[in-house]
Chains A and B, each alone.
Chain A
């Protein structure tokens, strides 16, 4: 299923690159709307097809203690779990808790850096999936000026 989906995505990206697609309709269905509309971590995980997550020292979430600008909070996430398949970033008190979800094929390291918006001071979670199970790291980041309504 996963492999087929990747093949399809690849095909469409090739077609788009070749100018054969005015829009990319296949991608629109790919975005997990339900997960991005969920308000709680457990609901996000359910939408991603998993069960109860477990806190783990094998997932490391780095970021500032205090973010002066909530519109631009740098995060770094690393998983040392064998066969990490995906990494998600969840921000507890944002209007939608799920900020980003990354699928990590073999050959790509379970490590990434990105920048997110935070509405207010809260816990940020890095959620990694490995061997069909979900593991997470949590970190509180204080926000001086929120970055969602702005």
Chain B
């Protein structure tokens, strides 16, 4: 599975807009494949964003979040070069952590 997380940031004063694209199938468990077989549910349940060891956003997702989830949010207190750590875990226990830096 391609587990990449792509992050773009836009800094305005100390306010930063974070745009994130996570590669994940986000299968609902309702879809049938070409052979007519149900594709098992496989979706991210938890996502957290941390900046300077502080959680700046945490999310709980269900399978209704679109495939390859997109999320944008804004937080204060950031400066250029600051590290943002993004972690997710899905319903099958797969997980991923990545760092991004404020541009």
Is A71 an interface residue, CB under 8 A from the partner?
Answer: yes
Is B93 a contact partner of A115 (Cβ separation < 8 A)? no
**Chain B residues with Cβ under 8 A from A96's Cβ?**
62-64
| A116 CA to B50 CA, complexed, in Å | 24
Query: In the complex, how many residue pairs between chain A and chain B have their CB atoms under 8 Å apart?
Result: 140
Residue among A72, A95, A116, A117 with most chain B CB within 10 A: A117
| A82: chain B residues within 8 A (beta carbon) | none
Tell me if A52 is interfacial: C-beta within 8 Å of chain B. no
Question: Complex: how many Å from CA A109 to CA B91?
Answer: 28
Q: How far does the alpha carbon of A13 sit from the alpha carbon of B83 in the complex, in Å? A: 15
Chain B interface extent, by class: 35 or more
Once A30-B46, A100-B65 are accepted as A-B contacts, the answer to whether A107 and B56 lie under 8 Å apart by CB is: yes
Residues of chain A with a CB closer than 8 A to B58's CB: 6, 9, 102-103
> Which residues of A lie under 8 Å from residue B72 when comparing CB positions?
112-114
| B interface footprint on A98-142 (CB within 8 Å = 1, 0 otherwise) | 111111110111011111111000000000000000000000000
Residues of B48-103 at the interface with A, using a CB-CB cut-off of 8 Å, are: 48, 50, 53-67, 69-77, 85, 87, 89, 91, 93, 95, 97
Size bracket, chain A contacts? 35 or more
With A13-B87, A16-B87, A101-B59 in contact, is A108–B71 under 8 Å at CB?
Answer: no
**Pairs of residues from A and B, 6 with the lowest C-beta to C-beta distance, nearest first:** A99-B64, A115-B66, A113-B72, A31-B45, A108-B75, A109-B74
Given A13-B85, A148-B30, A114:B97 Cβ within 8 A: no
B75 and A107: CB pair below 8 A? yes
Alpha-carbon gap, A114 to B59, bound state (A): 12
Let me know if A9 and B55 touch, CB within 8 A: yes
Contact of A105 among B15, B56, B85, B97 (CB under 8 A): B56
Contacting pair A104 B66 (CB below 8 A)? no
For B59, the chain A residues whose CB sits under 8 A away are 100-103
Q: CB-CB < 8 A to A30: which residues of B?
A: 46, 60
